[in-house]
């Protein structure tokens, strides 16, 4: 055999091998891509369904993830390699808790198959459970039951007076006297009736004067409900609110000349750190408006969750820049999706509230 023939044969063999390898591929073939649960009861708990698949290709199949379209779905999948001709599963669990009516959701299955992102669909309808008496009063302190864990006043302007009502129920066998102590000067409370008969419903009417509070952003206030309850007579109550400037009376000219806050970024990823490290990140911003920008307040959504420092001035003229530093202690915060959220309150009528987020991964040290 000549050298030329030998080279030609080698070339042909190489091409055949390359072609054979190029044709090898994993193929994911599901028995079905849609499951209809029909009608499911809210109180029945998570509804499960198994999507079965077969690797009908000629290469090993590896499923990397199954991504639900909402937090109401959990998905588990075969994590070991699936050889050609072998089978695997994607288990889907739908949680109907506090879900009502029809639903139509998806789980995207990613793998090394020729079809990399397969969408599995689940649908059905949730029949809400019949509400019980306890559902109307989910919080209990001694023998007094409450319709909510606290007064949530949501957003108020700094000149607003807001009234809110909390329904209560006396689960005691005796009449319960209700009065109040440690009320802030800007809060008034009235119990109706002041003496609540056994096994009867009443209400606490709260009036909150934000003009006297003289604060901004996330606000928490506390007071004491005084009773003759044999179990825990003094009951601590909380008021949650968010206060901003009143922009309702601004003229068109004032709106046009208003301050405008612009952050370089409102989310910073601190990457991967070891548990116990102190993460410090700085959010830079500028006043793009014509009037003075005031940084009213910057606070974490949860108290003592992290430290927030406003660097430099809190009153910025046009084109002046500022910074807000977030200091986060990761001790005891291990997780793949650790987030801390901060609310910044300003006098910018277009962005009176700005949400800043730092996030990352915290691994054991």
Longest C-alpha distance within the chain, in Å? 113
Task: Indicate whether 228 and 322 sit together in one domain.
Answer: no
Q: Which of 88, 104, 127 is the last residue of a domain?
A: 127
> Does residue 276 form part of some domain?
yes
Task: Indicate whether 103 and 61 sit together in one domain.
Answer: yes
CB-based contacts of 180, cutoff 8 Å, min separation 6:
189, 191, 223, 224, 225, 226
Condensed to tens digits (0 to 9), the pLDDT of residues 154-183 reads 999 999 999 999 999 999 999 999 999 999
Domain count, the chain: 3
Q: Which domain holds residue 171?
A: 133-244
Look at residue 19 in the predicted model and tell me its pLDDT.
Answer: 52
> Does residue 323 form part of some domain?
yes
> Does residue 5 form part of some domain?
no
> Does residue 273 form part of some domain?
yes
Task: Indicate whether 97 and 161 sit together in one domain.
Answer: no
| Separation of alpha carbons 129 and 45, rounded Å | 11
From residue 179, give the alpha-carbon distance in Å to each of 147, 173, 224.
Answer: 18, 19, 9
DSSP three-state, residue 43: helix
> Does residue 318 form part of some domain?
yes
> Does residue 7 form part of some domain?
no
Task: Indicate whether 74 and 91 sit together in one domain.
Answer: yes
Burial class (CB in 10 A: 0-12, 13-18, 19+), 92: buried
Look at residue 12 in the predicted model and tell me its pLDDT.
Answer: 57
Task: Indicate whether 236 and 256 sit together in one domain.
Answer: no
Pairing mode of beta strands 117-127, 34-41: parallel
The beta-carbon contacts of 330-333 under 8 Å, at least 24 apart in sequence, are 330/273, 330/274, 330/275, 330/276, 330/277, 330/278, 330/279, 330/362, 331/275, 331/276, 332/275, 333/275, 333/362
In the predicted model, residues of the chain with pLDDT beneath 50 are 18, 20
Q: Which of 127, 156, 173 is the last residue of a domain?
A: 127
Write down the pTM of the prediction. Answer: 0.67
Burial class (CB in 10 A: 0-12, 13-18, 19+), 49: middle
> Does residue 6 form part of some domain?
no
From residue 312, give the alpha-carbon distance in Å to each of 55, 284, 288, 308, 321.
Answer: 61, 11, 17, 13, 9
CB-based contacts of 140, cutoff 8 Å, min separation 6:
146, 171
Condensed to tens digits (0 to 9), the pLDDT of residues 131-156 reads 777 788 999 999 999 999 999 999 99
Task: Indicate whether 199 and 147 sit together in one domain.
Answer: yes
Task: Indicate whether 256 and 234 sit together in one domain.
Answer: no
Task: Indicate whether 271 and 356 sit together in one domain.
Answer: yes
Q: Which of 194, 217, 244 is the last residue of a domain?
A: 244
Task: Indicate whether 312 and 328 sit together in one domain.
Answer: yes
Task: Indicate whether 138 and 76 sit together in one domain.
Answer: no
Look at residue 13 in the predicted model and tell me its pLDDT.
Answer: 56
Q: How many C-beta atoms surround the C-beta of residue 247 within 10 A?
A: 15
CB 345 within 8 A of CB 216: yes
Task: Indicate whether 41 and 123 sit together in one domain.
Answer: yes
Task: Indicate whether 237 and 337 sit together in one domain.
Answer: no
CATH of the domain at 345: 2.60.40.10
Pairing mode of beta strands 187-192, 201-209: antiparallel
> Does residue 293 form part of some domain?
yes
């Amino acid at each position: 055999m000549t050298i030329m023939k030998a080279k030609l044969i080698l070339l042909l063999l190489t091409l055949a091998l390359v072609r054979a390898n190029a044709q090898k591929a994993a193929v994911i073939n599901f028995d079905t891509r849609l499951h209809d649960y029909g009608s499911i009861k809210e109180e029945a708990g998570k509804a499960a369904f198994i999507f079965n698949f077969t690797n009908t290709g000629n290469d090993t199949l590896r499923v990397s993830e199954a991504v639900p379209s909402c937090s109401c779905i959990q998905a588990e999948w075969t994590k070991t390699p699936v050889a050609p001709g072998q089978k695997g599963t994607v288990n889907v669990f739908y949680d109907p808790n506090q879900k009502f009516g029809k639903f139509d959701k998806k789980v995207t299955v990613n793998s090394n198959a020729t079809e990399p992102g397969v969408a599995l669909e689940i649908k059905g309808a949730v029949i809400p459970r019949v509400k019980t008496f306890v559902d109307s009063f989910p919080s209990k302190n001694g023998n007094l039951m409450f319709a909510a864990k606290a007064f949530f006043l949501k957003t108020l302007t700094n000149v607003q007076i807001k009234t809110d009502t909390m329904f209560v129920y006396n689960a005691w066998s005796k009449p319960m006297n209700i009065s109040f102590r440690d009320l802030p000067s800007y809060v008034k409370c009235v119990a109706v009736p002041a003496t609540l008969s056994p096994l009867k419903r009443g209400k606490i009417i709260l009036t909150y004067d934000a003009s006297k509070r003289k604060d901004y952003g996330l606000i928490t206030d506390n007071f004491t409900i005084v009773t003759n309850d044999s179990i825990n007579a003094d009951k601590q109550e909380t008021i949650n609110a968010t206060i901003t400037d009143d922009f309702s009376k601004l003229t068109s000219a004032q709106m046009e000349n208003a301050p405008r806050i612009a952050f370089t970024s409102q989310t910073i990823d601190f990457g991967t750190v070891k548990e116990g490290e102190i993460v410090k990140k700085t959010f830079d911003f500028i006043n793009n408006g014509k009037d003075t920008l005031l940084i009213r307040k910057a606070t974490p959504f949860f108290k003592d969750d992290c430290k927030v420092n406003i660097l430099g001035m809190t009153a910025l003229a046009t084109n002046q820049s500022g910074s807000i530093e977030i200091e986060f202690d990761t001790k005891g915060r291990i997780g793949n999706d650790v987030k801390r959220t901060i609310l910044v309150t300003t006098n910018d009528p277009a962005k009176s509230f700005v949400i800043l987020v730092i996030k990352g991964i915290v691994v054991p040290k």
